[in-house]
C-alpha cells in the first residue's frame, strides 16, 4: 500500500483529502505545518508527498528545497493557490514532480497522484538497469550518486532524471517539449525556460567547461543532444 505524506495547514482540506486518499487505498500521514512535515519526511519513508506551498513556520518551497538538499528524493506534488508561471517554475526547479493549482477537483488530484506514483515505479526500474560513464563523469542512477573525477557531485533527483533521459536517448535530438512531457509528465504548455535552466545547471556540474559544453549540446530550434 503506497504511503503518502499530506502537508496541509487547512484542517478541512486536510481531513477531506486524507479521507478520499484512504478510500482510494493509500495509507496517509498528515502534518499541519512545514516544520512538522519536514521532520516526518526525514524520519519516515513515503512513496509520495502532497505539499501545500503556503504553510506556517516553513513554506512548502523551503520544505522541498531542504528535502532535496539533504538527499530526500521522494516524489512531491505541490498544492498552490497561485496560478502564475513563476511559482510553477520555481517548484519544478526545486525538484517538485507535479503541481495542482487551487481550487482543484478531487478527480484531478487523484489522477496526478496515480500518474506520479506510476512514473516513480517506472523510473526506479529504468534507473536500476543503467549507469553512465561520460569522460571523467560517473553516474549510478540506481543510487543517485554522481562523481566527476574524484569529486562527488550534489544533484537534485530531477537533475538525475533529466540526465538519465538524455543518456537513455544519447545521440538523439531531444526537444524541450519531450523532456517536459517525459520527465515531468506534463501534456500542457509550460515555458521552455524550465528545461533550459535545468540544462544550464547540469552543464555547470557535469561539463569541464560549461561555457563550451562537449557532451550536452544545444540543437538550435529543437532542444538538446547528449554526445558520449
Query: Confidence class of residue 40 from pLDDT cuts 50, 70 and 90?
Result: very high
Closest Cα partner for 32 from 44, 46, 47, 17?
Answer: 17
pLDDT digits (tens, 9 = 90+) for 114-171: 888 876 555 554 444 468 887 788 888 777 788 888 888 888 878 888 888 898 888 8
Closest Cα partner for 130 from 88, 93, 95, 170?
Answer: 170
**pTM reported for the whole predicted model:** 0.60
Query: What is the distance between the alpha carbons of residues 50 and 21, in angstroms, rounded to a whole number?
Result: 11
Domain ranges of the chain: 3-125, 130-226
What angle, rounded to 10 degrees, do the helices at 157-168 and 193-206 form?
90
Buried b (16+ CB within 10 A) or exposed e, 134-162: beebebebeebebebeeeebebbbbbbbb
| Residue 139 grid cell | 553516474
**CB-based contacts of 148: which residues, under 8 Å, 6+ apart?**
136, 137, 138, 205, 206
Alpha-carbon torsion 199, 204, 209, 210, what sign? positive
Mean pLDDT of all residues in 43-55: 92
* Domain covering 3-125 in this structure, CATH number: 3.40.50.2300
CB 198 within 8 A of CB 149: no
Mean pLDDT of all residues in 45-69: 91
Residues linked to residue 175 through DSSP beta bridges, in sequence order: 223
**CB-based contacts of 108: which residues, under 8 Å, 6+ apart?**
100
Architecture of domain 130-226: Orthogonal Bundle (1.10)
Q: Is the pLDDT of residue 21 over 90?
A: yes
Amino acid at each position: 500500500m503506497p504511503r503518502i505524506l499530506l502537508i496541509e495547514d487547512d484542517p478541512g482540506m486536510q481531513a477531506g483529502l486524507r479521507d478520499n486518499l484512504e478510500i482510494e487505498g493509500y495509507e496517509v500521514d498528515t502534518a499541519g505545518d512545514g516544520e512538522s512535515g519536514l521532520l516526518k519526511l526525514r524520519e519516515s519513508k513515503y512513496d509520495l508527498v502532497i505539499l501545500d506551498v503556503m504553510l506556517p513556520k516553513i513554506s512548502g518551497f523551503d520544505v522541498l528545497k531542504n528535502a532535496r538538499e539533504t538527499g530526500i528524493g521522494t516524489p512531491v506534488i505541490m498544492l498552490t493557490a497561485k496560478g502564475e508561471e513563476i511559482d510553477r517554475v520555481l517548484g519544478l526547479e526545486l525538484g517538485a514532480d507535479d503541481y495542482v493549482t487551487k481550487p482543484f477537483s478531487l478527480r484531478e488530484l487523484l489522477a496526478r497522484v496515480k500518474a506520479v506514483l506510476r512514473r516513480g515505479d517506472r523510473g526506479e526500474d529504468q534507473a536500476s538497469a543503467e549507469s553512465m560513464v561520460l569522460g571523467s563523469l560517473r553516474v549510478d542512477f540506481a543510487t543517485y550518486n554522481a562523481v566527476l573525477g574524484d569529486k562527488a557531485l550534489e544533484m537534485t533527483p530531477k537533475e538525475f532524471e533529466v540526465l538519465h533521459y538524455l543518456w537513455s536517448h544519447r545521440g538523439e535530438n531531444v526537444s524541450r517539449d519531450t523532456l517536459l512531457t517525459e520527465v515531468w509528465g506534463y501534456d500542457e504548455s509550460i515555458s521552455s525556460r524550465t528545461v533550459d535552466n535545468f540544462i544550464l545547471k547540469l552543464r555547470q556540474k557535469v561539463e569541464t567547461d560549461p561555457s563550451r559544453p562537449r557532451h550536452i549540446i544545444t540543437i538550435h530550434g529543437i532542444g538538446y543532444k547528449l554526445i558520449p
